[in-house]
Structure 1
Amino acid sequence: MSYVGPDFDPPQPRRSPLRRPLVVAAAALVPGALAGWLLWQATGSGGEAGGSGGVAAGASSTGKTASTGSGDDDKVPTPSASDPSSSSSSSSPSVPAASGPLSGKVVVIDPGHNPGNFQHTTEINRKVDIGTNRKECDTTGTSTNSGYTEADFTLDVARRARKILEEQGATVKFTQDGNRPWGPCVDERARIGNEAHADAVVSVHADGSGSGNRGFHVILPGAVHEGAADTRPIVAPSRDLGERVAGRFVRNTGSAPSNYIGDGTGLVTRKDLGGLNLSTVPKVFIECGNMRDSEDAALLTSGAWRQKAAQGISEGIVSFVRK
């Protein structure tokens, strides 16, 4: 099945060592290219994104926060708690560039989970209203087999994306920036985007599926009108945002759409995620890869690859807010 969306270059088959990188562009629009990608092994995430890797605190397979898998290579600095420029609130506004194509635009990035969730079992296990039912406040997320956590991954990619977007003039806010001991809960994550009147919100995750499951997928909100949830106004714009993010993610990372969810499209619609159900602004989740697959894990733990992921996510956002 082919994936069709704005700014999408159909993915290319895995390059051989003898092929020059620029050859990819020559075949970028070949309709049959996706079939080649489907021969790849692919992936998906955990936690609020609902992948198999999300677990409540206390039920984690590692029970600890590991260091980044790539050491210090191309690492984005972490805000210091003693730095007066670091906000202690869950929503972390950044100062936008003086000018740029995104001047006046507000983007909220939601780094999935929190490195401190492991130590706060009671807090993240309590149930919150997500419109359709009640669900755990948050989860720990997943990790690679070597212990690199999803929470560390999402913060790193989010910080890289923030830098890219701010350089183009956007005001970027985080739901959490490693500056709170746990959470926020999924309902608060949605509320932060709503109260910011964000032009776009992207929640960054990585999956915890079985070995051999590879690739990325973007989760879109389904039409929900129940309790406190009414996603009907954002379903169409969120799909547009998701398609643009998926297309640019492929272009920048070379990753294939998931081989285990989404029927090869890289897009999945869900109605059980509080972060989407309670949003009143365009919002999607992206599961960047499967941390439990060794091949995907090698990418997710690479600082160079995380920079490509951040670039792809950012370009998708730029394409959406400037349309």
Structure 2
Amino acid sequence: MDLSLTWAAIIALGVLMYVVLDGFDLGIGILFPFFPEERDRDVMMNTVAPVWDGNETWLVLGGAGLFAAFPMIYSTVLSGLYLPLMFMLVCLIFRGVTFEIRSKATRTKHMWDLAFIGGSAGATFFQGVTLGAFLNGIPVADGRFSGDAFTWFTPFSLFTGLALVVTYALLGCCWLIAKTEGDLQRRFYRIVWPLTLLQLGTIAVVSIWTPLQDAGIATRWFDTPWFYRFLPVPVLVVACAWLMRRSIRSRHETRPFMMALAFVLLGYSGLVASISPHAIFPGVSLWELAAPHSSQMFTLIGAAVILPVIIAYTTLGYWVFRGKVRHGEHHYH
């Protein structure tokens, strides 16, 4: 068994599951300013109230897996991206506290709405900034981070932060279409196509900008094996947009969310192509940066136990709380 490759797959799965699952409930907070009525906001929050905290388990899995299997990458990423990661965590704390307090607040409810909006949008933005800085390259010298505290602050990373805000807003909108009904659902149908157009625009800009700002990524993208493997991706993006348009016109309730997920998966495939096999250190592969074989095997045993448990309770949570959410139905704990 190739333990390094196995751990890379586990970490990639954890990050992908986090983006998919926590993405749409962060997207709900991003959409809050467009729905100022308290009744509508109550319904929107109740669609994710039973599952939002479980979604963040995948973020912990990805971070812990990176620390266990690739400690050198972990230390470099943490050193280079310390500030945006800390900002992200602070925003996630605000968002989490809002879930617990907002439903019980009366006079201060509007303040907790602002905290939910700021926490959701801020966490999303700094996740995107972190991704952009990672793609932009983290300066390394003698195996250590060699930049300053604001190396991550570049036009490219700021744009990827805004692009992820659009992605999560689209995920949240499509999730709410599936979970609501009546006039509220109709209003989500009206904004999903403009969000889709914004998503297409950000995909196009990031796809052009990414290889231009890093010669190594450009080489990997346009090298013969990878080029032919990812040649269908632009066609699939256009196909997803066409299916999204058809789904909106036919008022299909679940297909828009499937198409939004497809956009995420296609973008994620581009990310994998961009960083493989040299995650951070130019010319140094994952295998050379991996923890000792014994450490990887020991932690893999724990992951083999924990991963099925996480998948099981995540699946159970969504199954138990499936169906529409109506005003007055509360799932807060």
**TM superposition score normalised by structure 2:** 0.29
Q: Which has the higher Rg, Structure 1 or Structure 2?
A: 2
The structure richer in strand per residue is 1
